[in-house]
C-alpha cells in the first residue's frame, strides 16, 4: 500500500507540473521579441520516416545539430559522449570505444556478449545497425542526430521498444565545398576530420568524408616495468557518397563506408572500489595499474547502402538496401589485477588470474526495405512497406593463463537471424487543428543458434547445443495532436513494441554438469505498452522552443541479463513485469541577441516486479542489499530499479558571442549530469555508480562569416573521477570515466 501511494504522489507532482506548463504557454506565446532579434531555425526530423517539423510530430524527440556535435567530439571521444546529452539517455560500455550499450527511459541491456540484442535501435543513414559492435561507428560529418523515445515498432521494427537513435550523414551537393578540422591535445591526442563535396556532372554529385583520431598510451602497467602501455588508440573512418539525380522524379544515393580501430580494450582495475562503499579506493592512480594479462583491441568494419526514390505522381516509392560486415578482437585482463606482489597497495591485487578475449571472425548483415508513401493526398496521407533482414554471426571466445600466458580455453557461438515484416501507417486531419495518426507492423523473427565449448579452462568440452527460437508479433501505435494556437501543440500517444527472443550461450566458464537449458539460455519475447502525453511550443517570436512529455510504460516478460558474479556466466531471464514512468523537458532559447542556451531534463522511475525472480550476487567482497533467494548465493530483485537507469538526467549548454568588426569571440560550455545507477540487477553498496557531473568548455574566435575558427577546448574540465562499471567476481574490480583532456582546434570551411 505504501508503495502504491509513493507512485501516486509522484504522478500527482509530475501532473501538476505539466498542467502549470500547459496553462502558462498561451500567455508566453503572446510576448513579442525585440525587432531584429535572432530566431530559432525550424528543425526537420524524419522520426515518422517522412520529413516533418519537429513541433508537429506527436512523440518526444530530441536532436543534436552539427555545431553541438563538433563541440562534443573535439576531444576525440567516441559515441558514449552522447550519454546524458539528451534527456533519458545513458550509454556505457565494458569494451571501451567499441560495443556501446544504450538505455532510453531506463530500458537497455547490460549483456556484454557480442551476440547480445538491445531494445534501443540505432539507424545510420536509413539502415538498422543490429549488432552492438556496429553501433559504435564514429560520429563525423553528420547533418543531424535524432532520438525518438518510446516504442518505435511500427516504422522501425523489432528490437526498438525503448526508442530509436537516427544518424543522418551530410548529403552530397552540386556546389563545390567542404570543411576541415584539426585538433591537438593532451596525451598527444590528434583529431582530423574533413569532407569535400561537389558535382561530377550535371546529374551526379559526390561527398567524401574522413576521420582520423589517435592518442598515445598514457597508463603505465607497473607489472611489466616503467613506460606507458595502455589507453591509447588509432582510429580511421571514411564515407563516400555518390548522388545520382537525373530528374526531379528519381534519385539514387550510394554510400560506402569503413572503420578501422587499433587500441586497447577496457581497462579493468582490481580493488578500485573501497569495501563497504561505492567510492574509489585509497592508493588509486588513474595513470597506473598492475595487470598480468595482455590488453589489445582491433576492429575492421565495412558497409554499403543504396537509397533510391521514385516520384510516381500521387505516391513515391523508396528502396533502402544495406550491407554491413565487421570483424573484431578484444583481449583484456578481466580480473583487473595481478597475482604477483607489486608495490601498488590494494590496486592491482587479485585472487586469481583471469584473461580472456572475444572476437567476431565472421559477420554479415543484409537488409532490404521497400516503402510506398503518399504525396500530399489532402486530409489523409499514408505509407506502407516491406522489410527483410538477414544476419549471420560467428563469435569466438578465448581464455588464457595469466601474465599473457598461453591459451587454455576456446568456445564458439554461431547464429543466423532472419526476419521479415510488413507495415502501414497513416495520418488523418480531422480538422485544421486536430490530427490523428496510427500504424501497424507484423514481424516474423527466426534465430538458429549453436554454442560449443571446444576446450575448457576449468572443465571438459561441452558438445554443441542448438536452439531455434522464433516468434511473430504485431506492433502498433496511435497518436493525436491538437494545435491550441499557431505556436502551441499538445499530443497524446500510445504504442506497443516488442523485442524478439534472445539467446545467450557463453560456455567458456560454465559448469558442464548443468542441463543444456541452463548452459544456453533463451529469453522469450518481451512486449512493452507505452503511454505518452506532451506539449510542444514555439514561443517569444521563435526565440524559444519547448518540448515537455509525461510517460508511463509496462514491459511484460522483459529480457534481462544476469551477468558474472558467483555464477561466473551470463544468463538470460524474463521478468514478469517492469514499470517505468517519468517526465522529460527540452528547451532551446535565445536569451539575448548573443546568448543561446539549451536545457534538457528527465526523471525516470523504473521498477522490476517479479516476486519469484532471483539472480546470483557478486562472487565475494560486496554487500548485497537484496533479500536472499531460496538457492544459496541468489538474491530476490523484486522492486529493484533497472540497471544503468538513472532517475535524473540533466544537460545544459550555453554559447555567448561577442561580435567584432571582423568576426566573433565566443565561449561555449556544456554540462551533463546523471544520478546514481545500479551496475547489475541486484542492488549492492559497492556496485552502485555514484552520481556523475561532467562539463566541457570551448573558447575561440571565428572570422570571415564563420568560415574559419580557432579554439581552445576542454573536456571533463573538472577532472571528475567516477566508477562507471564493474566486474563482480570477488575483487571489487571497476572501470572509470574518461579523463580530463584539453587542446586546441582549427576549423575551416571552403
Judged against a pLDDT cut of 50, whether residue 25 lies above it is answered with no
CA 422 to chain centre: 26
pLDDT of residue 157: 86
What's residue 23's pLDDT?
46
| Residue 402 pLDDT | 66
Q: pLDDT class for 380, splitting at 50, 70, 90?
A: very high
Whose CA is closest to 555, among 44, 106, 96?
A: 106
Alpha carbon 746 to its chain centroid, in Å, reads 29
Residue matched to cell numbers 562503499: 277
Q: Is the pLDDT confidence value at 341 over 80?
A: no
Count Cβ neighbours within 10 Å for each residue of 670-688 and write b for 16 or more, e otherwise. bbbbbbebbbbbbbbebbb
CA distance 381 to 155: 15
**How far is residue 746 from each of residues 177, 180, 660, measured CA to CA in Å?**
17, 8, 19
pLDDT per position as a tens digit, 652-674: 999 999 999 999 999 999 999 99
- What pLDDT is recorded for position 404? 63
Q: Is 4 a residue whose pLDDT tops 90?
A: no
Phi, psi of 367, deg, nearest 5: -145, 150
Please report the pLDDT score of residue 233 as a whole number.
96
Which ranges of 267-332 would DSSP assign to H, the alpha helix?
none
Query: Taking residues 259-275, what's their average pLDDT?
Result: 93
Q: Categorize the per-residue pLDDT at 350 as very low, low, confident or very high, splitting at 50, 70 and 90.
A: low
pLDDT of residue 14: 43
Position of cell 545510420?
124
Higher-pLDDT residue of 22 and 350 is 350
What is the reported pLDDT for 337? 79
The pLDDT assigned to 315 comes to 97
Q: What is the mean pLDDT of residues 109-113?
A: 91
Looking at residues 138-166, what average pLDDT do you find?
93
How many residues does the structure list for the chain? 750
* Residue 49 confidence class, pLDDT cut points 50, 70, 90: confident
pLDDT at 17: 44
* Cβ atoms < 10 Å from Cβ of 244: 17
- Residue tagged 516486479 (cell numbers): 609
Residue 466 has pLDDT above 70, yes or no: yes
Closest of 127, 159, 154 to residue 59, by C-alpha? 154
Q: What is the mean pLDDT of the chain?
A: 91
* Confidence category of residue 570, pLDDT binned at 50, 70, 90: confident
643 near 680, Cβ under 8 Å?
yes
pLDDT tens digits for 525-568?
Answer: 999 999 999 999 999 999 999 999 999 999 999 999 998 777 67
Q: Is the pLDDT of residue 12 over 80?
A: no
Q: Domains along the chain?
A: 2-287+301-400+422-749 (2.40.170.20)
* Cell numbers linked to 173: 551537393
Q: Which of 332-336, 362-366, 436-440, 459-463 has the least mean pLDDT?
A: 332-336
Place 403 in a pLDDT band, splitting at 50, 70 and 90. low
HEC per residue, 73-137: CCCCCCHHHHCCCCCCEEEECCCCCCCCEEEECCECCCCCCCCCCCCEEEEECCEECCCCCHHHC
Contact 87, 105 (CB under 8 A): no
Cell of 42: 525550424
Distances (CA, A) of 47 to 250, 280, 606, 622, 724: 23, 41, 25, 43, 31
In the block, residue with C-alpha cell 532471483: 614
Amino acid at each position: 500500500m505504501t508503495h502504491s501511494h509513493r507512485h501516486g504522489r509522484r504522478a500527482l507532482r509530475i501532473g501538476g507540473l505539466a498542467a502549470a506548463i500547459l496553462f502558462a504557454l498561451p500567455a508566453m506565446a503572446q510576448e513579442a521579441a525585440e525587432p531584429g532579434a535572432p530566431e530559432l531555425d525550424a528543425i526537420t526530423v524524419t522520426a515518422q520516416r517522412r520529413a516533418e517539423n519537429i513541433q508537429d510530430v506527436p512523440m518526444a524527440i530530441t536532436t543534436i545539430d552539427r555545431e553541438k556535435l563538433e563541440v562534443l567530439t573535439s576531444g576525440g571521444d567516441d559515441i558514449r559522449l552522447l550519454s546524458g546529452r539528451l534527456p533519458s539517455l545513458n550509454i556505457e560500455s565494458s569494451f571501451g570505444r567499441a560495443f556501446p550499450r544504450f538505455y532510453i527511459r531506463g530500458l537497455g541491456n547490460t549483456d556484454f556478449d557480442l551476440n547480445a540484442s538491445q531494445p534501443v535501435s540505432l539507424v545510420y543513414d536509413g539502415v538498422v545497425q543490429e549488432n552492438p559492435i556496429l553501433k559504435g561507428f564514429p560520429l563525423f560529418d553528420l547533418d543531424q542526430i535524432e532520438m525518438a523515445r518510446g516504442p518505435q515498432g511500427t516504422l522501425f521494427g523489432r528490437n526498438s521498444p525503448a526508442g530509436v537513435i537516427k544518424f543522418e550523414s551530410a548529403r552530397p551537393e552540386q556546389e563545390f565545398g567542404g570543411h576541415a578540422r584539426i585538433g591537438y591535445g593532451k596525451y598527444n591526442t590528434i583529431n582530423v576530420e574533413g569532407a569535400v563535396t561537389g558535382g561530377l556532372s550535371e546529374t551526379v554529385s559526390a561527398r567524401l568524408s574522413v576521420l582520423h583520431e589517435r592518442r598515445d598510451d598514457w597508463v603505465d602497467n607497473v607489472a611489466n616495468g616503467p613506460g606507458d602501455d595502455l589507453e591509447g588508440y588509432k582510429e580511421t573512418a571514411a564515407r563516400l557518397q555518390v548522388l545520382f539525380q537525373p530528374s526531379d522524379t528519381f534519385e539514387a544515393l550510394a554510400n560506402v563506408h569503413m572503420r578501422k580501430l587499433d587500441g586497447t580494450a577496457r581497462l579493468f582495475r582490481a580493488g578500485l572500489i573501497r569495501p563497504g562503499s561505492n567510492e574509489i579506493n585509497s592508493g588509486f592512480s588513474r595513470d597506473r595499474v598492475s595487470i598480468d594479462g595482455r590488453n589489445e583491441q582491433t576492429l575492421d568494419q565495412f558497409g554499403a547502402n543504396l537509397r533510391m526514390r521514385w516520384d510516381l505522381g500521387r505516391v513515391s516509392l523508396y528502396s533502402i538496401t544495406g550491407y554491413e560486415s565487421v570483424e573484431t578482437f578484444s583481449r583484456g585482463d578481466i580480473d583487473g589485477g595481478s597475482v604477483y606482489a607489486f608495490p601498488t597497495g590494494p590496486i592491482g591485487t587479485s585472487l586469481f588470474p583471469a584473461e580472456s578475449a572475444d572476437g567476431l571472425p565472421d559477420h554479415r548483415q543484409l537488409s532490404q526495405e521497400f516503402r510506398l508513401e503518399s504525396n500530399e493526398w489532402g486530409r489523409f496521407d499514408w505509407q506502407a512497406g516491406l522489410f527483410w533482414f538477414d544476419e549471420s554471426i560467428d563469435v569466438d571466445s578465448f581464455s588464457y593463463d595469466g601474465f599473457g600466458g598461453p591459451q587454455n580455453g576456446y568456445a564458439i557461438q554461431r547464429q543466423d537471424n532472419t526476419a521479415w515484416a510488413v507495415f502501414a501507417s497513416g495520418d488523418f486531419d480531422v480538422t485544421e487543428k486536430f490530427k490523428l495518426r496510427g500504424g501497424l507492423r507484423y514481424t516474423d523473427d527466426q534465430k538458429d543458434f549453436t554454442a560449443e565449448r571446444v576446450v575448457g579452462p576449468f572443465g571438459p568440452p561441452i558438445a554443441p547445443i542448438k536452439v531455434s527460437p522464433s516468434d511473430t508479433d504485431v506492433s502498433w501505435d496511435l497518436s493525436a495532436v491538437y494545435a491550441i494556437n499557431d505556436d502551441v501543440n499538445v499530443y497524446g500517444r500510445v504504442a506497443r513494441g516488442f523485442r524478439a527472443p534472445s539467446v545467450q550461450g557463453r560456455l567458456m566458464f560454465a559448469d558442464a554438469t548443468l542441463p543444456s537449458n541452463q548452459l544456453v539460455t533463451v529469453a522469450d519475447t518481451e512486449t512493452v505498452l507505452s503511454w505518452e502525453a506532451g506539449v510542444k511550443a514555439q514561443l517569444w517570436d521563435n526565440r524559444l522552443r519547448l518540448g515537455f512529455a509525461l510517460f508511463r510504460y509496462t514491459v511484460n516478460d522483459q529480457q534481462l541479463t544476469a551477468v558474472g558474479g558467483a555464477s561466473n556466466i551470463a544468463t538470460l531471464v524474463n521478468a514478469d513485469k517492469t514499470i517505468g514512468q517519468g517526465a522529460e523537458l527540452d528547451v532551446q532559447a535565445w536569451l539575448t541577441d548573443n546568448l543561446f542556451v539549451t536545457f534538457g531534463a528527465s526523471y525516470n522511475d523504473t521498477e522490476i516486479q517479479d516476486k519469484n525472480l532471483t539472480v546470483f550476487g557478486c562472487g565475494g567482497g560486496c554487500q548485497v542489499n537484496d533479500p536472499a533467494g531460496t538457492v544459496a548465493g541468489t538474491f530476490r530483485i523484486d522492486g529493484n530499479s533497472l540497471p544503468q537507469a538513472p532517475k535524473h538526467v540533466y544537460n545544459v549548454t550555453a554559447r555567448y558571442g561577442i561580435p567584432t568588426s571582423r568576426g566573433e569571440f565566443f565561449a561555449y560550455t556544456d554540462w551533463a549530469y546523471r544520478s546514481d545507477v545500479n551496475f547489475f540487477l541486484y542492488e549492492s553498496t559497492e556496485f552502485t555508480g555514484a552520481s556523475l557531473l561532467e562539463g566541457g568548455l570551448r573558447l575561440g574566435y571565428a572570422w570571415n562569416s564563420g568560415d574559419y575558427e580557432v579554439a581552445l577546448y576542454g573536456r571533463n574540465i573538472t577532472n571528475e573521477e567516477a566508477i562507471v562499471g564493474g566486474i563482480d567476481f570477488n575483487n571489487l574490480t571497476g572501470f572509470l570515466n574518461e579523463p580530463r583532456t584539453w587542446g586546441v582546434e582549427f576549423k575551416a570551411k571552403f
